[in-house]
Structure 1
Amino acid sequence: MKNALVLLILISCSLTLLNAQDKPNIILIMADDLGYEALEAYGNDFNKTPQIDKMIAKGMKFENTHSMPLCTPSRVQLMTGKYNFRNYLGFGILDPKETTFGHLLKAEGYATCIVGKWQLYGNEVQRKLANGQGGSLPLDAGFDKYRLWQVKDLGSRYKDPLLDSRETGVEFFEGKYGPDLFVDYMEDFMEDQGNKPFFVYYPMVLTHDPFEPVPASNAFASYDPKTRLNHPELFPDMVTHMDHLIGRIIKKVNDLGIAENTLILFIGDNGTDRDVVSTVNGKQLRGNKGYTNDLGTHVPMIAYWPGTIKEGSVNNNLIDFTDFVPTLMDVAGAKNKKSFTDGISFYPQLTGKHNIREVREWVFCHYDPNWGKFTPRTFVHDTKYKLYQNGEIYNLKEDLYEKDALKKNDLNKKEKKIISKFEKVLDEMNLSEGD
C-alpha cells in the first residue's frame, strides 16, 4: 500500500512537471553584420565555426533567409513581424507603441530576457532625423530582464564594456569582454527559471566593427579600446569567438537538461561589413551591409531543437524577418494569434509537417532607413528573380551584384509570369515611393 502511494505521488509530480513545461523555451540569437558568406557552412574557405557546424548537424540549416540590409530596419521587422513601411520611424528607434515578440511571449506566460545590443531608444541625432520621435526601452518592449549595450549610454561593447542591466543599472567592466558578460547573464537567467518557460533574445554585438582583439588573442590583455583599432583581418577571430559563445549556450541548455524542450534559432541581422572580403568556394565576395543586393540581405539561419527537428535537415524555402513573430507564437502554442503580422510561420517546416501553402513564394522589402548614404529601395524577389519598384529586373543566380538589369520583353513566358506576380505584390502593398 505504501509503495503504491509513493508511486502515485511520483506520477503526480511527473505530470505536474510536464504540465509546467508544456511550452518550449525559445532562444533567438542574432549576429551583428554577418552575411551568409561569412560562415564555413555556407562555403567560406577560411572562417572556422565548429559549434555552428555541430548545431547544423543536429538541426536544420536554412539556405534562403533574408533580412533587411541594415541594423534597425531588420530589428524592427524581426521584433514586430511587420514590413518597415508600416512602423519604421528612423534609424536606432523602435516605436514605443509597437507590440513586440517580447510582449506577445510574456502574455503567453514566458519569462523574457534580452542580452546584447539594444540601440532602439535613439540618440539626439537619430531622434532629429525621425522628426523628434523617441524610441523604446527594454522594459517597455516586453523584456523583464536585460543586460545590454547602448540603451541610453554608449561606451565600448567589447573590451572594458559599458553595460546596462535591470538589476544594477549602468556599469563599467574594466578588463572584461562584453560578449562574454552577456552570455554569463543569460546563463544565470536560464538557471533561475525552474519550470517556467523562457524566451531569451540575444542580439549579439559580434561581429560588428570595430574589429578588435578577442580574449583568446595574445593582444587582448594589452589592448586599449580607446584606440579604436579597426582591422578587418581580425574579423575571423571575432567569428570564432561568436561561435564559441554559441557553443556555451548550447552546452548550458544541455547541462540544465532542457535541450529537447528548447528551440534555438541563429540568424544574422544583415549583410557583412563592406570592409570584409570573404573567400567562398574559391571566389572572393565582399560584404554589402546597407545595400540591397543578395550580399546585403542574405543571412545565415540555423534551427536547433533535439527531438523535434530532423537532424542534418536542409531547408531551401524562403524566410524573411516578418516570419519570426508568427513562428514564435506557434511554438508557444498561442491560441489568440495576432493578425497584424505580415509573416508566414515556419514552425510547420521545423516539425516536418508543412504543406506547399505554408511556404513563402516571395520576399518583399521596403527599405528606407533614413540614415547615412543609403538610398531607399523597394523590391520583391524569390530565389532566382528580383523586381525593383522602378522596374529593374535581375537574375540573382547569374548576376549576384545586380550589374545587368534584364528587360521584361526579353524574358520567356514563364519568367514574365513570375515578374507579373511580383508586380502584383508591389501594387497590393499600396506604396507611393519614388524608388
Structure 2
Amino acid sequence: MSFALALLAAVGGGPSLDVSPERRPTNVVLIMADDLGAEWLSCYNPAAPPTPHLDALAAGGTRFTRCFSQPLCTPSRVVLMTGKYNYRNYVEFGFLPPEERTIGDVFREAGFRTGVFGKWQLSGDGPDRPDAIDPADWGFDEHLLWQLSRRPGHGDKGPRYWNPKLETGGAIRRSARDEYGPDLFGDALLEFAARDDDRPFLAYYPMVLTHDPFLQTPETGPPTGKAQADPKHFPEMVRYTDRLVGRIVAGLEAAGLRENTAILFCGDNGTHPSVVCPTPHGPYRGGKGLLNDRGTWVPLIVSLPSRVPAGATADRPVDFSDLLPTVCTLAGVPVPPSSGENGGDGASPFAADGSPVKPPRTAAFVWYDPRHNARINQQAGAFARDGRYRLYADGRFFDAGDPLDPAEEELTEPLTDEQRRVRQSLAAELARHAQQGGGLPRASASGP
C-alpha cells in the first residue's frame, strides 16, 4: 500500500478521543535519524540544503543547539532506550541486555500502547541469544523492524531500503522490489497512531535513513541497471528524511492527534565521514565514530503545541540520557528514579507544563567504549562538554566554540580565569561519573 493510501486508511479509522486537552494523556512520537549530524538541517546550518519540514517542526517547538549523542549507533540506542550512560549497561555492539528496563517498559506500564518501527540493532547477532530477540521483551506491543535478529531460518539482515527484509510479530514481512523501507515504517507508524483505541501511545521511529549505502530514494525511483551506492545521493536522502517527517506530522494532524502529541526528532550520531556539507565556516566533513563535535553533535527538536515553547532555541547542553526523562515528563509518565537498579542518569530540560527547567544542566557527558572493531575502538574515551568547552578524560581541554565550525582549539596553560573555572567544573563532572562506576576506557579519547 502506498504511503498516501495508508494515511487515508489510518485517518478513516481514527480514534474517537475526548478533545479537551485537560482530559487527554499526551502521546509521543520519537524519531531518530541514523547517521545524521545537525549540520545537515537548514534550521541549524543556513548553508545546508533546505529541510523545510524539520525547520517547521523546530519553528513550532524548541530547537536544542547543544545536543550530544554517542559517536556510534548502538551505544546511542542503548542510552536512549534505558536513560543510562554506557558505563552502566553497554555490553557489546548490537546488543541490549534483556534484563534492562526500557522506554517501552516504562510507557507500557503507564497504560500506553507502544510500538517501534524502523532499525532495531539491539538483539545480538545469532541464535545464542534466544532471550533477546523480541521487542515485546522490552515493552513494545507492536513492531515492524529491520535488523531485528539473525535467528535460525531468518538468514542475514538483508537490505534496509529497496525491497527491504523486515520482521513483525516473529515473522518475515516480504516486500516487493519497488517498495522502500522508510515508507513502510511510516505507514506502520501512522496506522498504529491513528488506531481506534482510547489509550495514549508511544511510537518510537528509529529511522534507517540516512545511513549508508547511499542510494537514490523514491524521489528519483528505484536503482536500476548498474546504479551504485554513492555519497552523491546523500542530499537526496536527507530531503526524503525531511519529507517523511512532514508526512508524519500531516498524518497526525489529519487524524486529529497533533495537538496532543509530543514529537521529538534527533540523530543517533554524526554523519558518515565520506559526506561533506557546506557551512558558513567552510566544508564540514562528517565525523561518525569520533568523540569530537563532528561525531557527537546532533539535532534535537521537541514540539508539543500549546506547551513546549514555539520558536525557542535552547543552548543548554543535553545528552542522550535526557531523552527518556524528557518524553516521560511531557507525557505525564512517572520518570524512573535517578538511582537504583532501574534508575536513569538524565533529566528533562522541561517541566510538566513545558516550561524550561531551571537551573539548566551545565554539562553534557559522553562515555564511549564501542567494543566493535579495532579501528572504531581506538576512539574510546569520555568527555564533559558545556556550551563552549570540552574536557576529555585524558586531560586535554578544547575550546569547541560553535559546533557548526569543525575547527577546535586545544587549550594549554596559561588559561584565562574563565577557562580555568570551566575546566575545573568539567573535571568535577568527569570525576562524579568515575566515582559512580564510569571507569575510563583505555584508548585515546579523541580522533582527528
Q: Which runs of 5+ in 1 are unaligned?
A: 1-13
Q: Structure 1 284/160 Cα, relative in aligned 2: closer, same or farther at 3 Å?
A: same
* Alpha carbons 2:21, 2:260 under 8 Å: kept: no
Counterpart in 1 of 2:364?
A: 363
Deviates more, 1:203-212 or 1:314-323: 314-323
Counterpart in 1 of 2:164?
A: 161
* Alpha carbons 1:265, 1:303 under 8 Å: kept: yes
| Cα distance in 1, alignment partners of residues 365 and 43 from structure 2 | 26
| Cα distance in 2, alignment partners of residues 350 and 280 from structure 1 | 36
Counterpart in 2 of 1:4?
A: none
Counterpart in 1 of 2:332?
A: 333
Q: Structure 1 387/253 Cα, relative in aligned 2: closer, same or farther at 3 Å?
A: same
| Cα distance in 1, alignment partners of residues 23 and 208 from structure 2 | 31
Q: Of 13, 29, 32, which residue of structure 2 is paired with 1:30?
A: 32
Counterpart in 2 of 1:101?
A: 103
Per-residue CA deviations over 1:18-49 (Å, capped at 9, x if unaligned) read 59953100000000000011111111524221
| Cα distance in 2, alignment partners of residues 51 and 286 from structure 1 | 24
Counterpart in 2 of 1:205?
A: 208
| Cα distance in 2, alignment partners of residues 249 and 403 from structure 1 | 37
1:390 to 2:389 alignment = no
* Alpha carbons 1:210, 1:228 under 8 Å: kept: no
Q: Of 128, 135, 138, which residue of structure 1 is paired with 2:135?
A: 138
Q: Structure 1 228/326 Cα, relative in aligned 2: closer, same or farther at 3 Å?
A: farther
Q: Structure 1 133/73 Cα, relative in aligned 2: closer, same or farther at 3 Å?
A: farther
* Alpha carbons 1:120, 1:137 under 8 Å: kept: no
Counterpart in 2 of 1:8?
A: none
| Cα distance in 1, alignment partners of residues 48 and 424 from structure 2 | 41
- The SS at the match of 1:40 is coil
Q: Which runs of 5+ in 2 are unaligned?
A: 1-15, 150-155, 444-448
Q: Of 420, 425, 431, which residue of structure 2 is paired with 1:421?
A: 425
Per-residue CA deviations over 1:289-320 (Å, capped at 9, x if unaligned) read 01011111000111121222232111111111
Q: In the TM superposition, what is the alpha-carbon distance from 1:271 to its structure 2 partner?
A: 0.2
Q: In the TM superposition, what is the alpha-carbon distance from 1:88 to its structure 2 partner?
A: 0.1
| Cα distance in 2, alignment partners of residues 53 and 398 from structure 1 | 20
- Greater Cα radius of gyration, structure 1 or 2: 1
| Cα distance in 1, alignment partners of residues 223 and 274 from structure 2 | 25
Aligned partner letter, 1:74: S
Q: In the TM superposition, what is the alpha-carbon distance from 1:92 to its structure 2 partner?
A: 0.7
The answer to which structure has the higher helix fraction is 1
Deviates more, 1:265-274 or 1:394-403: 394-403
* Alpha carbons 2:65, 2:313 under 8 Å: kept: yes
1:380 to 2:384 alignment = yes
TM-score for the superposition, normalised by structure 2: 0.86
Give the total of aligned pairs: 410
Counterpart in 2 of 1:406?
A: 411
* Alpha carbons 2:400, 2:409 under 8 Å: kept: no
- The SS at the match of 1:380 is strand
Counterpart in 2 of 1:296?
A: 295
Give me the CA root mean square deviation: 2.5
Q: Of 148, 153, 163, which residue of structure 2 is paired with 1:151?
A: 148
For 1:23-422, what aligned pairs fall within 5 Å after superposition? 23-124=25-126, 135-152=132-149, 153-166=156-169, 169-217=172-220, 220-223=221-224, 229-281=228-280, 283-335=282-334, 337-339=336-338, 340-348=343-351, 351-356=354-359, 359-372=360-373, 373-374=375-376, 375=378, 376-397=380-401, 401=406, 404-407=409-412, 409-422=413-426
| Cα distance in 1, alignment partners of residues 315 and 134 from structure 2 | 36
| Cα distance in 2, alignment partners of residues 18 and 287 from structure 1 | 45
* Alpha carbons 1:37, 1:44 under 8 Å: kept: no
- The SS at the match of 2:432 is helix
- The SS at the match of 2:167 is strand
* Alpha carbons 1:94, 1:136 under 8 Å: kept: no
| Cα distance in 2, alignment partners of residues 33 and 174 from structure 1 | 25
| Cα distance in 2, alignment partners of residues 202 and 304 from structure 1 | 16
Aligned partner letter, 2:215: E
Q: Structure 1 161/335 Cα, relative in aligned 2: closer, same or farther at 3 Å?
A: closer
Q: Structure 1 292/163 Cα, relative in aligned 2: closer, same or farther at 3 Å?
A: same
| Cα distance in 1, alignment partners of residues 207 and 295 from structure 2 | 18
